[in-house]
A = this chain, B = another copy of it.
Amino acid sequence: MSIQMNQSLSVDCAVFGFDGRTLKVLLIERRYYAPDTQLDRLKLPGAMILENETLPNAAIRVLEEATGLRKVYLKQIDIFSDPARVSGEELKWINRHHGTHSERVVTVGYYALVKLDDRTVAYTTAKGAQWVAVESIVRLAMDHKQILSAALTLLCREMCQSPVAFELLPRKFTIRQLQTLYGAVLGIEIDNRNFRKKILASGFLCPTSEHEQGVAHKPAQYYVFNRAAYKKAVKEKLRLGFIDNWRY
């Protein structure tokens, strides 16, 4: 049986951030990149799994390395196990980069949501990474474009079903910011009256006494996400379309 040949397991992370206008993803430029080859320059941050590490822990490690952040929202996307997903020059690049001799690399994709504050942007740019608008990305190294697409699909679904949007916003945010975020990620226009009604009725937002300052219009009130209220609501009633009630 040849099932123990040189195969390795890696994680790749699509790290999303929101700058108030569009959804961005963190890309890193490959080291050891030779411009004369046909390899794409940009890739998602990733790493090989270490000996005593779970996959989620590997993803957390990659995240901290890439962003300097420890507690980030992290979710598994999918496993990419096509034997041919990396081969030829790409495989050579990987082995050179990691000092390995793999014939095959199975990777597990994760996506992460981070708050794009000054500190984080400074950290990532100091590391030579870039925040790129997801709309504008047409190609990435290896099958990373495919991983990114899977991440976006999942992110859209998650945004509609659980309060992950807050992971992309500062602690204090306006309802309009939240709405803009939903609109940008989902690519739809949202009626602001219905949105406010729905989001406020959920009871998951707590108003603060603070308002925007220095804006050339009526200053908006800041809210914070009430995670406790959300968890309580979930515990009391799980609900989702179709036959909404289940055991597990």
Contact = CB atoms under 8 A, between A and B. Distances in A.
B51 A79 contact: no
A208 interface: no
A157 B240 contact: yes
B48 A3 contact: yes
> In the assembly, how many copies of this chain are there?
2
| Prevailing SS type, chain A contact patch | loop
Given A1-B99, A55-B81, A79-B108, A160 B6 contact: no
Interface residues of A, number: 56
Interface stretch (A24-32, A137-145, A182-190, A219-227): A182-190
A228 to B, nearest CB: 20
Contact of A240 (B51, B161, B187, B248): B161
Interface stretch (A12-20, A63-71, A116-124, A148-156): A148-156
Interface in A212-248: 239-248
B246 A156 contact: yes
A51 to B, nearest CB: 5
A99 to B, nearest CB: 6
Select the residue from A101, A161, A239 with max chain B CB neighbours within 10 A: A161
Q: Which of A53, A81, A99 has the most CB of B within 10 A?
A: A81
Interface of A: 1-9, 48-56, 76, 78-79, 81-83, 98-102, 104, 106, 108, 149, 152-153, 156-157, 159-161, 182, 185-188, 190, 239-248
